[in-house]
Amino acid sequence: MDLLIVGAGAMGRWFGRTVDADLAFADADPERATAAADDLGGRAVPLDGDEQFDVVCLAVPMRLAAEAVDANAHRATDVMCDVTGSMAAPVAAMREHFDGHERLSLHPLFAPQNGPGNVAAVVDESGPLTDAILADLDSAGNHVFETTPEEHDRAMETVQAATHAAVLSFGLAADNVRDEFATPVSAALDELVASVSGGTPRVYADIQSSFGDGTDRVADAARALAMADPETFADLYRTVARSDTSKDGNEHETDKHDPVE
Ligand SMILES: NC(=O)c1ccc[n+]([C@@H]2O[C@H](COP(=O)([O-])OP(=O)(O)OC[C@H]3O[C@@H](n4cnc5c(N)ncnc54)[C@H](O)[C@@H]3O)[C@@H](O)[C@H]2O)c1
Ligand SMILES: O=C(O)C(=O)C[C@]1(C(=O)O)C=C[C@@H](O)C=C1
């Protein structure tokens, strides 16, 4: 299969490394396309070209996903897919601009250096080439699971926006203290702060813009904990503990709304 990857950044490169295809890269910054093609083997092509490919995969920033579908649909013959991290907007745009062809939305739930891992997938219209892409992801050691755009985007409020807000607000609030004072809990949180703050700021800002309801819930919960008298604090603490126990009982939902009754 020949594959055009639009957006030659971290995720575009990950997709190019993972899928067995003849690669071409296009990017708003042509030097990035050339660098990715040189590193991974393939060629750089103009962003505004008309050459067609079996598969076009969009790896542009999330806020540009829908317009990138519109701008690039004419360059795909068989498959459009995206790895932009949101699903409702690109899937709707692919239905509008690439009706009657194979369509796939993928979200690798890890930074490239932490893969392989879980990959959420909306197989909106399947076919031989989407099957081949999914098989390549699987062969690379990823766990691909099917979801819907609605379920995915809702889950991102918890696993991305709320998670990042909790970790980053700890990073903002924490004082510098001597390492000897670290507890197992504070040390684990320090590691998470380092991991989350080691990414690309604009990627994390886009996640907040898209899924920020999760952050509002974290802010409300932190405020409730800060205002609580000892009895109320203990109630809130038990609410979290109960929900964690129910996870051990094989309930995998992590999204608990309205923690404050
Ligand atoms: N980095 C991660 O850990 C990660 C993991 C999973 C999903 N994602 C998602 O993947 C998307 C890309 O993230 P990334 O980390 O690769 O970002 P990145 O900044 O490394 O790469 C994005 C690339 O897109 C290019 N670009 C911007 N606008 C464009 C346009 N209109 N047309 C063509 N190219 C354009 C940029 O020049 C850049 O090279 C984001 O939406 C992000 O949420 C990121
Ligand atoms: O650093 C990691 O491995 C991540 O999980 C990165 C992370 C995240 O923190 O949610 C960042 C953006 C992606 O869309 C998916 C995963």
135-162 pLDDT, tens digit per residue, is 999 999 999 999 999 999 999 999 999 9
Predicted confidence at residue 243, as pLDDT, reads 86
Which residue ranges have their beta carbon within 6 Å of ligand 2? Answer: 85, 109-111, 114, 160, 195, 203
174-209 per-position pLDDT tens digit: 999 999 999 999 999 999 999 999 999 999 999 999
Would you state the structure tokens that stand for residue 228, as one six-digit string? 């609580």
Q: Does the beta carbon of 79 lie inside 6 Å of ligand 1?
A: no
Q: Using the Cα atoms of residue 13, residue 16, residue 17 and residue 19 in order, give the sign of their dihedral.
A: positive
Mean pLDDT to the nearest integer, 215-234: 96
Q: Distance between alpha carbon 160 and the CA centroid of its chain, in Å?
A: 8
Predicted confidence at residue 244, as pLDDT, reads 81
Predicted confidence at residue 247, as pLDDT, reads 67
Ligand 1 atom closest to 32 (CA): 39
Q: Does the beta carbon of 42 lie inside 6 Å of ligand 1?
A: no
156 Cα to the center of ligand 1, angstroms: 17
Ligand nearest to the CA of 200: 1
Backbone angles phi, psi at 45, to 5 degrees: -130, 155
228 Cα to the center of ligand 2, angstroms: 32
pLDDT at 118 over 90: yes
Ligand 1 atom closest to 8 (CA): 39
Predicted confidence at residue 24, as pLDDT, reads 98
Mean pLDDT, the chain, whole residue set: 94
What percent of the chain shows pLDDT beyond 70? 94
52 Cα to the center of ligand 2, angstroms: 31
7 Cα to the center of ligand 1, angstroms: 6
| pLDDT range class, residue 261, cuts 50, 70, 90 | very low
pLDDT at 250 over 70: no
DSSP-assigned letter for residue 257: -
Mean pLDDT to the nearest integer, 61-76: 98
SS3 assignment for 176-242:
CCCHHHCCHHHHHHHHHHHHHCCCCHHHHHHHHHHHCHHHHHHHHHHHHHHHCCHHHHHHHHHHHHH
Lowest mean pLDDT among 17-31, 85-99, 241-255: 241-255
203 Cα to the center of ligand 2, angstroms: 9
Q: Does the beta carbon of 260 lie inside 6 Å of ligand 1?
A: no
Ligand 1 atom closest to 111 (CA): 3
Mean pLDDT to the nearest integer, 37-46: 98
